[in-house]
Amino acid sequence: MSVGNTFFKTAFSVDNVIFGFDDSLLKVLLIKRAERPFKDQWALPGDLVFPEEHLDDAPKRVLRELTGLENVFLEQVATFGKVDRHPVGRVITIAYYSLVNIAKVHPKPHSFAEEISWHEVSKIQSLAFDHMLIMNKCLQNLKSKVRTQPIGFELLPQKFTLSELQDLYEAVLGKSLDKRNFRKKILSLEVLLDQEEYQQGVAHRPAKLYQFDRLRYEEAKSLGFTFEV
Amino acid sequence: MSVGNTFFKTAFSVDNVIFGFDDSLLKVLLIKRAERPFKDQWALPGDLVFPEEHLDDAPKRVLRELTGLENVFLEQVATFGKVDRHPVGRVITIAYYSLVNIAKVHPKPHSFAEEISWHEVSKIQSLAFDHMLIMNKCLQNLKSKVRTQPIGFELLPQKFTLSELQDLYEAVLGKSLDKRNFRKKILSLEVLLDQEEYQQGVAHRPAKLYQFDRLRYEEAKSLGFTFEV
């Protein structure tokens, strides 16, 4: 049909902002590009979407290829479509972010990447393409969502201390929180299971371990409960 | 380059979910399609994005062509990309929603449309393409956002009564609210300007008119205030 000549000339890609939490720091998984354009620069992992691939399957594929992970938290955030955002042609990109438990990830380079590693989010100065913009948009979304949905737990090991949980919130929100208020608030939500276990192998007095009680949360939610930190 | 043959074959479009509020009902602006596919069916207004058009400019163009409006509330919500969502070829669509003051809109059909009119959201049974899915996703976003951001006022005339404001919230949220609690809560936010004026030409006792105080809201927000209804 006639519109074919004018319109069916675009490619579209996905970009994955994969957040992890380690050493009390919020990190993001970046690749070093092996090819032009932006060769040797750090970039978000991503790929072109195949003609016969459902859009939502593409970020899952990228994630699986780079990290081996499946069934992790993945959310579509926004689509970026400036005319000149890609030097090779018109490429629209759809940004997704994931939250992963960093201990479970053994990243390996794939396709466009010659290197892959975790980078502290607050230290990143520049990225290839419009990837700074994309990363910041996803970070903004995470900051707002982490306060009202129990997604922060995705970034932690199954069992964690209240200090680790507070460190996580402070890293994501980029500000320090009052320890007493934080503990009071989080415990009052009644979605943490006391594991009746303590940390092992730490120099200081071992702290209690907790686990997120997803079942209890889902039940409470269905009755109108709202998570809020 | 070689990827051109494989990947640069997609078109992308925008779809506009334009919400209005009238007669205590939440409405959406639909077009009746003049062309195949889905000829004579109701659909969301939208259009293919031109090769040299910045993505974010496309929904503004569609809105302007159909309603004459500029500078209205417009938000990107999600991108839909199932392989078979469009019968003509691979078309990815990016969904935006707008909130407009229905009294200011004089919609006229344009391009693919042979007819254009407002439809009560809760009465819509089916739409062309995957437009039901798109409309519902935007509605869900509106429902969540209207409680924590002062966007509901976009749907009202500049001066409104508290009853009209409550009707609006009830229409968007799809449930009735307690009158006394609603008034107490909304007035306690201190973002409404008492106009010291009353409704005119009504059969019942005229109610007081209010106006949203955007300046005061922006000031309070910068100091950490959160709007919540």
Q: How many CB atoms lie within 10 A of CB B180?
A: 8
Cα of B55 to nearest chain A Cα, Å: 5
8 Å CB contact between B116 and B109: yes
* Nearest-by-Cβ selection for B79 from A52, A79, A88: A79
Among chain A residues, CA nearest to B5:
A9
- Summarize pLDDT for B121-166 with one digit per residue, the tens: 999 999 999 999 999 999 999 999 999 899 999 999 999 999 999 9
Cα of B201 to nearest chain A Cα, Å: 41
Among chain B residues, CA nearest to A1:
B88
Together in a domain, B60 and B104: yes
Together in a domain, A131 and A160: no
Together in a domain, A113 and A214: no
Together in a domain, A63 and A117: yes
User: The domain spanning residue B175 has which CATH number?
Assistant: 1.10.10.10
* Nearest-by-Cβ selection for A7 from B3, B48, B54: B48
Token readout for B39 is 């000829």
Residue A37 contacts B, CB cutoff 8 Å: no
A33 beta partners:
A113
CA separation for the pair B114, B141 (Å, rounded): 29
* ipTM for the predicted complex: 0.89
Together in a domain, B43 and B141: yes
Q: Please count the structural domains in chain A.
A: 2
For residue B22, give its domain range: 3-145
User: The domain spanning residue B117 has which CATH number?
Assistant: 3.90.79.10
- Say what the pTM is: 0.92
CA distances to A10, A87, B76, B94, B179 from B10, in Å: 5, 17, 20, 13, 51
8 Å CB contact between A91 and A13: yes
Residue A229 lies in a domain: no
Cα of A11 to nearest chain B Cα, Å: 4
Taking only the tens of pLDDT, chain A with its 229 residues reads 456 678 888 999 999 999 999 999 999 999 999 888 999 999 999 999 999 999 999 999 999 999 888 999 999 999 999 999 999 899 999 999 999 999 989 898 877 788 999 999 999 999 999 999 999 999 999 999 999 899 999 999 999 999 999 999 999 999 999 999 999 999 999 999 998 899 988 888 899 999 999 999 999 999 988 888 8
Residue B80 contacts A, CB cutoff 8 Å: yes
* Nearest-by-Cβ selection for A10 from B1, B11, B81: B11
CA separation for the pair B143, B146 (Å, rounded): 6
CA separation for the pair A175, A67 (Å, rounded): 29
- Summarize pLDDT for B34-75 with one digit per residue, the tens: 888 999 999 999 999 999 999 999 999 999 999 888 999 999
Among residues A148, A173, A196, which one ends one of the domains?
A: A148
Contact at CB, A9 and B6, closer than 8 angstroms: no
Residue B79 contacts A, CB cutoff 8 Å: yes
Cα of A182 to nearest chain B Cα, Å: 18
Average pLDDT, chain B: 93
* Chain B from 143 to 202: CB within 8 A of any A CB: none
Together in a domain, A190 and A88: no
Contact at CB, A4 and B94, closer than 8 angstroms: no
Instruction: Note the pLDDT of residue A1.
Output: 45
